[in-house]
Chain A
Amino acid sequence: MLASISDSVANSELRTWVVYLLSNVPGLPPIVQTVHILALGAVMGSIVFVNLRILGLAVPAQSPGEMIKRLLPFTWWALLPLFVSGLVFIIARPDRYFFNPVFGIKFALLVPALILGLCLHLPSRREPAYWEKSAIRRSLVRSMAVVSIVLWLSVMMAGRWIAYSDYLFW
């Protein structure tokens, strides 16, 4: 299954184009990677800071409910440049990613990070103070914040380790 997806990407015309652009447009690889890192900055500035605020560790002057409503849309929008800039390199070298355990780990961490983000965001959209209304919700949202921060930082770490998977698996 993975092998056939990887093969069809590897043999696609799209890949020919992407590889051509990456090797012929001066600076395109670092530019695309820069887009990826800038979007990570947006993730850090939005969902990670929201969670730091929930834990009482950052920006005490800002209200957590208001922050969730204002900042989580930035997290969701950041996924678009993250996805597109990441996809460029996957298309260029599918076998490097499809058969890389660290790439798998990255997505295994990303999916729960996204689900947790939705669980945090959706109730607050209707009711900004949702997470502050009862002791149970307050302790639940604090636990979610710890897990969310750990997941996002791990996703960023795993992303960088894709290039070094030989150090972990050989």
Chain B
Amino acid sequence: MSLDEFWDWLQNTDLAFQIGATWWFPLIESIHVIAIAMVLGSILTVDLRLLGLAARAYPVSAVSRELTRWTWAGFILAAITGLAMFITRPAAYADNTAFQAKLVLLALAGINVAVLYTGAMRRIDSWEETNIVPTAAQVAAAVSILIWVGVVLAGRWTGHLQ
């Protein structure tokens, strides 16, 4: 089965019809927006804390531990709802430049967070008490903000290229 055949099969499943041709689509899309706002709201607080611009009264470890679970919850919800919308027109989305850019940016966000949590955040015990956030972690925080702005822009742009 080629990729085109797979997209075609996917688009013709009962589920894809149910979503694409009914009020399920706007419902799923609005949940997608709320999930994205949750990702942004939680990750932005962590990033700004690393940059020393927010929640300075609390240790980085507490802010990160308590908020990244909300980022993940929001991300999983956004991924599920995103996938649900994707299957209604998979070939068109896969071919959409903005959608491709969004996927690349999401991959970069994943690499960025992996670098942050296997690097500076893993050694947090050695720097937290000094209250000086390592430059590497601050760079990752700034990059994270830029990438997520890009993800939202590319996601919103996707709808304008249909």
**Residues on A facing B (Cβ under 8 Å):** 27, 29-31, 33-34, 37-38, 40-46, 48-49, 58-62, 66, 70, 153, 156-157, 159-161, 163-164, 167-168
Contact = CB atoms under 8 A, between A and B. Distances in A.
27 contacts: A30-B153, A30-B157, A30-B159, A30-B160, A37-B40, A38-B40, A38-B149, A40-B36, A41-B36, A41-B40, A41-B41, A42-B41, A43-B41, A46-B41, A59-B63, A61-B66, A62-B58, A62-B62, A153-B34, A156-B33, A156-B37, A159-B33, A160-B33, A161-B26, A164-B23, A164-B26, A167-B23
Contact of A44 (B29, B30, B38, B57): B38
User: Which residue, of A31, A41, A43, A49, has the highest number of chain B Cβ atoms within 10 A?
Assistant: A41
B55 interface: yes
A13 B26 CA distance: 33
Contacts, number: 98
B96 interface: no
Contacts of B30: 156-157, 159-161
A42 B44 CA distance: 8
Classify the secondary structure of B's interface with A. helix
Interface of B: 23, 25-26, 29-31, 33-34, 36-42, 44-45, 55, 57-59, 62-63, 66-67, 70, 98, 149, 152-153, 156-157, 159-160
Q: Which 10 A-B pairs have the closest CB atoms?
A: A41-B40, A45-B41, A44-B41, A160-B30, A164-B26, A61-B62, A44-B37, A30-B157, A157-B30, A30-B156
Classify the secondary structure of A's interface with B. helix
A41 B44 contact: yes
Given A61-B58, A66-B57, A160-B26, A45 B33 contact: no
A42 B153 CA distance: 16
B146 to A, nearest CB: 12
